[in-house]
Structure 1
């Protein structure tokens, strides 16, 4: 009788499957992905995949959760409420821009979510809950609780802030707008931070 796999071995196998799944989802789309293709890409049997994930939707959900957790920690994981608003907002904006400018896997996955959102809205909603909605909550709570800020609608302000930065990143880096409508990122960040912080003192 073979020994039971350790927790680390189970986690390693799960990650191996997720890596193979990412490759297939990005190349074939959600609808075009099959467990057979994932098994081949991951170097495991289809039975092994089903030991870790109930079905294709469960596999894709796990990918969303992993990508969202990693990127959330990168952008917001090091933020502490005692820091000054200008420092916090500059950090968040800079991290978002660097993420979209340099993280090719995240951008490709984001494009996949957008492309499949018409046919599979529930998957897009999973992504919104896992990353944007979570970020709005954390940033909105920061706006609401910081003693130097007096913002009337913290959640709306959090959406305005992140939405402006993401829109800039998409138009500049993904849609190649920097070639026809250039604006230095530091100019956008400084003006956006100024608008948010001054809102609370006006």
Structure 2
């Protein structure tokens, strides 16, 4: 498992530069194709036709189908992280902020599109190990760094007592996901919003019992 650099573990991820217009046009179209047909069936010709760009233009930005697929899963991972980051309020009540982050994380993690792409990633990793590395760095590691930065701030201003923000971030994410992501991957019936809220409340309660200030 890749490890976070101690020197940067509690820094928020750097801002991502806006995508070129053509890339923003290609990625969602290609993602839909991979979700509909699977990695093996999709061709670059299909992607060019669906996205409305020439094949030459497509190859300007992506040299291979593997590179395009990696960009898609990285883009989806960024969507998940940005959704959680939007709930961070460095001045808000700690339980409220944690609750909002946990709920957003759980909802996005069990979203049909997220689940489908995760399945596609897992299926492609034996043949394309770099895809797994890219997803891990773009998703779990970046998400952990985002949460760790917030927890470090909360520790510094006295709202939490967190000696290891990175470890605490991993624990928080594990509590938040419960086992709902695994159930989604196995096509179990979707949980109700009430059940998600109950899981979030329990996760925040346990986390604050461990790290909350007396």
Residue equivalent to 1:4:
none
8 Å contact from structure 1 (residues 144, 150) kept in 2: no
Look up the match of 2:176: 165
Please give the per-residue CA displacement for 1:18-76, whole angstroms capped at 9, x wherever unaligned.
23311232234334432122223223321121122233233223222322222211121
Residue number in structure 2 paired with 1:194: 205
Higher relative contact order (CA 8 A, sep 6+): 2
Superposed counterparts of 1:56-95, under 5 Å: 56-95=65-104
Say if 2:115 and 2:184, in contact at 8 Å, map to a contact too: no
Per-residue deviation, 1:168? 2.7
Structure-1 separation of matches of 2:122 and 2:43: 20
Give the total of aligned pairs.
Answer: 191
Tell me if structure 1 keeps the 8 A contact 2:48–2:54.
yes
CA contact (8 A) 1:151 1:199 kept: no
DSSP-derived class of the 2:39 partner: helix
Q: State the Cα distance separating 1:12 from its structure 2 match.
A: 3.7
Runs of 4+ in 1 over 4 A off after TM superposition: 176-180
Match of 2:8 in 1: none
Residue in structure 1 matched with residue 136 of structure 2 by the alignment: 128
Q: Does 1:154 align with 2:165?
A: yes
Residue ranges of structure 2 left out of the alignment (5+ in a row) = 1-18
Q: After TM superposition, list the pairs within 5 Å mapping 1:39-54 onto structure 2.
A: 39-54=48-63
Whichever structure has more helix as a proportion of its residues is 1
Q: Which has the larger radius of gyration?
A: 1
Deviation at 1:176, TM superposition (A): 5.1
For 2:92 and 2:35, the matched residues in 1 are separated by 38
Q: CA deviation at 1:132?
A: 1.5
Say which is worse superposed, 28-37 or 135-144, in terms of deviation. Answer: 28-37
Gaps of 5+ in 1: 1-9
Distance 1:48 1:179 in 2: 40
The answer to whether the 8 A contact 1:90-1:193 is kept is yes
Structure 2 Cα separation of the partners of residues 179 and 41 of structure 1: 30
TM-score, structure 1 normalization: 0.80
* Partner of residue 38, structure 2: 29
TM-score normalised by structure 2 residue count: 0.76
